Structure 1
């Protein structure tokens, strides 16, 4: 349980806030299909998978390494 609340950065906070926003808007507008999107973004932030864990960045490669 303690590992879920460690190493939070801005990206994870934004994913959590976006997920909560989607769920609240879905409940308010009675668009029940949109709750799944909100729960997906919230789970990405809480369980640290997908882009919320920082795995979506492209590694920097110098031009010299490409030409070899």
Structure 2
């Protein structure tokens, strides 16, 4: 449980806020099929998986091209 609240950054806060926004708007407008999308974004932020955990970053490595 302690690990869930460590290492929060702006990206995770934005995912959490977006998920809460989706859930609240979907519940208010009674668009029930949109609630799982909001819950998914909230879960990504809370449990640090997917892009919210930094897994979507592409490492910047320079390729050396050899001329033979």
TM-score of the pair, normalised by structure 1: 0.92
Which stretches of structure 1, 4 residues or longer, exceed 2 Å deviation after superposition? none
Q: How does 1:26-37 map to 2 (within 5 A)?
A: 26-37=26-37
Structure 2 unaligned blocks of 5 or more? none
- Which structure's CA Rg is the greater one? 2
TM-score of the pair, normalised by structure 2: 0.92
CA RMSD of aligned residues (A): 0.9
Distance 1:27 1:54 in 2: 29
Structure 2 residue matching 1:3: 3-state secondary structure:
helix
The number of equivalent residue pairs is 66
Distance 2:11 2:54 in 1: 8
Aligned to 2:15: 15
Bigger proportion of residues as helix: 1
